[in-house]
Amino acid sequence: MDILHFFALDQLYRERRRLRQKVYVIAELGGTRREGKILKERDGRWLIEFFPLETDGIVARTSRHYLSIREFEVHPVDQQQFEDYIRTLNDIYAGSD
């Protein structure tokens, strides 16, 4: 199933890039859930820039990390469109038997 998720995310990313928009994600870094945006994909891993975050007076600066699709989830603001792409890919591949 990961391959369908990868292709769905790739399709969403390419469409958003064409429109000059970003795809937002959530991942756990250092025990803290952080929000970020996808900057690019390389060799099956996604470069994500995480936004600054302040917790208990400590500021976690902006950082960039390459993560696989298993290490993050699509942010709820983009989740519906991401699921639509997954459904479309499932329909395409289910019909090709």
Q: pLDDT confidence of 69, banded at 50, 70, 90?
A: very high
pTM of the model: 0.85
Kindly tell me if the per-residue pLDDT of 31 is higher than 90.
no
> Residue 86, Cα to own-chain centre: how many angstroms?
13
**The two structure tokens encoding residue 20:** 């000059």
- By the 8 A CB rule, do 25 and 73 touch? yes
% of the chain with per-residue pLDDT over 90: 72
Residues in the chain: 97
Kindly tell me if the per-residue pLDDT of 6 is higher than 60.
yes
3-state DSSP call for residue 9? helix
Kindly tell me if the per-residue pLDDT of 59 is higher than 90.
no
Distance CA 10, CA 24 (A): 13
